[in-house]
Chains A and B, each alone.
Chain A
């Protein structure tokens, strides 16, 4: 699954719906096209990772774009892309 270019308020609901549809599947989200990562979508991604952790399924964000990495770093969550799955 590819993450969309803009992860802002308008994208948050869709993102959650798409992720919920893949509940229980192993996930590797491709962050290569992301141009903006906002606070709400970050929440969705972290909540998803936690959910997958509870469900005991692998969850990764791979191939983060520079914008994704920069946004994650600014948001104090720069481990989301690299760590991803539960320890």
Chain B
């Protein structure tokens, strides 16, 4: 049974890239363009892994992580942050909010898939 990944990113380029890489690897992909849409998507689909950007309009990635963790159905769902940022403070903040991992943009397809498989195995 193929796993479902929810990606939340406001950049069209990133969404397309994620779609291509994840679909190419056989995942179901659900996409959202900002944090609010991302949380809305949780009602429609049941992702096995969530990949979120940090800097987004309307609701940022930290809000997404907190929102996901508040939903009892997604307490155990891995959340990966995909961000150009990499400062320890930001990582700490994401971790405190409940993030599972952090991938620095731009990412390599293999790396992303590897991390996704790792947390969803």
Contact = CB atoms under 8 A, between A and B. Distances in A.
Interface in B71-121: 73, 75-76, 121
Chain B interface: which size bin? Answer: under 10
A6 to B, nearest CB: 9
Interface of A: 8-10, 36
Contacts of A36: 121
A8 B121 contact: no
Interface of B: 73, 75-76, 121
7 contacts: A8-B76, A9-B75, A9-B76, A10-B73, A10-B75, A10-B76, A36-B121
Contacts of B76: 8-10
Nearest to B121: A36
Contacts of B121: 36
A12 to B, nearest CB: 9
A5 B17 CA distance: 32
A63 B8 CA distance: 40
Contacts of B73: 10
Contacts of A9: 75-76
A9 B76 CA distance: 6
